[in-house]
Amino acid sequence: MARRPGHREAVGMSSTPAPGAATAPPRLPPAPVIKSAWRIHRLLYRVSGGRFLWTPANKRGWGALRLTTTGRRSGADRSVIIAYLTHGDGWSVVAMNGWLPGHPAWLLNLRAQPSATIRLKGGPARDVVAREAKGAEREAIWARWLAVDPNLGAWAAARSTPTPVVVLEPSAASAGAWRDELRG
């Protein structure tokens, strides 16, 4: 029995874009839904003690970490769950603000105070220092992110603000201890 063509095939459309063709950004849920999803991530983290965070070894290709910054106005701790890729001795993250316009509060907090704490699945809290990747380093990290998630470029193109790439490096005080821990 022959397969009945779907709408795309019936009107001569391919389900994959032609090489070099512009990709339309994926459709996003309304902003309140996105913001609620971030709140649910934080709640799951608190309830599970971080057991629901994933690592880059999963099928997504990226991991999730809990980043705690110091609020630039309040001085209070502010935590968020964000995606990461490893980068040398540290980690790289993309400041997409849930694909919405503007920069996420955690990035603005890091710009005001680059010292922060991260927690990976099953690991201890680690002190880090944040910096924005620039030039060739940014392009190399961005290419790694695009290899993991090809839709990222379309999402970034749909935003009205450029998408910063942030590198989280071990703080000088704790870098040696982390290397020893990684060696096992």
Predicted confidence at residue 87, as pLDDT, reads: 92
Q: What share of the chain is helix, strand, coil (3-state, %, to 5)?
A: 35, 25, 40
Superfamily of segment(s) 50-183: Electron Transport, Fmn-binding Protein; Chain A (2.30.110.10)
Its pTM stands at 0.72
55-107: per-residue pLDDT in tens? 666 666 788 888 999 999 999 999 988 889 999 999 999 998 776 678 999 99
Contact 54, 121 (CB under 8 A): yes
DSSP 72: T
3-class secondary structure, 162: coil
Instruction: Residue 77: name the closest of 103, 113, 48 by CA.
Output: 113
What are the structural domain ranges in the chain?
Answer: 50-183
